[in-house]
Amino acid sequence: MADALNADVRPILAEFLGDSPRHAVRPLSSGGFSGSRLWRVEADGRTFALRRWPRPSPTVARLQWIHRVIESAQTQGFHCVAPAVSKRAGGTICAAEGHLWDLSPWLPGRAIAPGEANSDNIRCALAALARLHGAIEASGNSLATGIPAGLVQRREEIRRWREQRFAQLAPALSRDRWPAGHAAARQFIPLAEQVLPTLDAELQAMASMAFPLQPCLCDVWSELVLFERGEVSGIIDYGAMRVDQVACDIARLLGSYAADAPDRWHAGIAGYETVARLSDDQQALIRLYDRTTVVLAGLNWIRWVFLERRAFDDMPAAARRLEHFLLRLERLVNPP
């Protein structure tokens, strides 16, 4: 990690900003758990975020699409996003050192942790998300109705777990592999096995319905929404974007703020609906997306560490993520 963060990024910056000697570059720890690397860049009185995307994804075509969607949202008047900066030779992507790189404006503000967020913060965050969805739709990116990709993906993930992954885990659960997360993993697995059949049946029922589809962020959570003076000043990190139903973003963001608190869920839905109404089916899909995320996100951490033997920069932080999902899973299996 140190070698990556200490890399000389000046040739890459020159692609976007020229050879100005006034670049001040500060490496940041990482781009979360995604494998991205980030640098904060000060240049000619402006501040930027330089991102090195992980291998092997995304592809050039997919990253270009993400850049176009975000730029179109800003063109429609939503200014809490950071469109990619164009290179001097044209285009918004630099390919160097076996990675894709891009540069975007550094958005002001700071994230509010779920434990610090109040109902007003949650309403503001969800209203901003609704405005972003509206800007994306208004720019011509909405598609015909259909079955959301998130429903299909979740059913496929559940099938894989029930058919093979649970059986593969038993010999792989070594305490030495993840000391901080081992106990939570052992508690999580039997509860997940218990609840997955019910969730799969609910997903199957929802898959018979058609929903409006459009590009969605798909992994927007509390750490990616920035506030300044009580208002949303930025929504960042678009790497998980795909075509889905807006319910997937609402569930991900509101679940990160509200967990299982009904008053917080009410505040978030009310905030979104100050901008755009949600149908009864959409609201049911939001809660189903949230419940399945609790189970599948926790199982993903277990799979990544024990089956795929991945290592993350901050394994104790990863264990805290798993413990968070375990607490919510326990409430899902045994409601208070």
Find out if CATH 3.90.1200.10 is the number for domain 119-333: yes
Digit-coded pLDDT (tens) for 215-256: 999 999 999 999 999 999 999 999 999 999 999 999 999 999
Nearest to 259 by CA among 223, 295, 290, 226: 290
Digit-coded pLDDT (tens) for 50-69: 999 998 879 999 999 999 99
pLDDT band for position 6 (50/70/90)? very low
Q: Which CATH architecture has domain 2-106?
A: 2-Layer Sandwich (3.30)
Average pLDDT over residues 94-115: 95
The answer to whether 169 and 189 have CB atoms below 8 angstroms apart is yes
pLDDT band for position 112 (50/70/90)? very high
Average pLDDT over residues 184-205: 97
Q: What rounded mean pLDDT belongs to the chain? A: 93
pLDDT band for position 311 (50/70/90)? confident
The answer to whether 94 and 11 have CB atoms below 8 angstroms apart is no
Which residues of the chain are in CATH 3.30.200.20 domains?
2-106
42 forms bridges with which residues in the sheet? 24, 47
Give the pLDDT confidence score for residue 33 in this predicted structure.
Answer: 61
CA–CA separation, 233 and 227 (whole Å): 5
CA–CA separation, 257 and 215 (whole Å): 22
Which residues of the chain are in CATH 3.90.1200.10 domains?
119-333
pTM: 0.94
